[in-house]
């Protein structure tokens, strides 16, 4: 059974972006994570007054997927209202690498795709379990 098209993932990321709790920054982000089985798990950023406890859309989607028993992923779409590509932050890159590996990362704004990468291009020298052996 084929998985969702990139267009369907983009649509899902843009839609969930509207649920973001971005009362401090006003910067709403949505993410749609595709599982290897073709499911789509979405997440949006959830801000906190301390900022340090803010959860990014990518991490929300990943944690939801992991908590639902998913453990293999193929790509993630990140949607934000910005002219330039809005790529995952450092903590998101770390967690995506550890749990998803070298997945495709598609960055979009409200009108078009702004960039497409492999996670290894965004996170070329990762720290992972190999260093802990």
pLDDT at res. 128:
85
Residue ranges, the chain, pLDDT below 70:
1
Going from N- to C-terminal start, the domains of the chain cover 6-132
Q: 6-132: which CATH topology?
A: Cytidine Deaminase; domain 2 (3.40.140)
Query: Among 34, 39, 47, 58, which one carries the catalytic annotation?
Result: 58
Tokens of 73: 């992923």
pLDDT tens digits, residue range 79-88?
999 999 999 9
At residue 74, φ and ψ (nearest 5 deg) are: -115, -35
Whether 58 is catalytic is yes
pLDDT at res. 1:
62
pLDDT at res. 46:
98
């Amino acid at each position: 059974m084929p998985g969702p098209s990139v267009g369907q993932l983009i649509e899902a990321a843009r839609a969930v972006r509207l649920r973001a709790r971005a009362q401090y920054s006003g910067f709403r982000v949505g993410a749609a994570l595709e599982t290897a089985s073709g499911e789509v798990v979405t997440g949006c950023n959830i801000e906190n007054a301390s900022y340090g406890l803010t959860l990014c859309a990518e991490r929300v989607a990943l944690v939801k997927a992991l908590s639902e028993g998913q453990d293999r992923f193929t790509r993630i779409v990140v949607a934000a209202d910005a002219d330039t590509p809005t790529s995952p932050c450092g903590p998101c890159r770390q967690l995506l690498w550890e749990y998803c590996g070298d997945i495709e990362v598609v960055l979009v704004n409200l009108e078009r795709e702004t960039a497409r990468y492999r996670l290894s291009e965004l996170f070329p020298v990762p720290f992972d379990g190999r260093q802990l052996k």
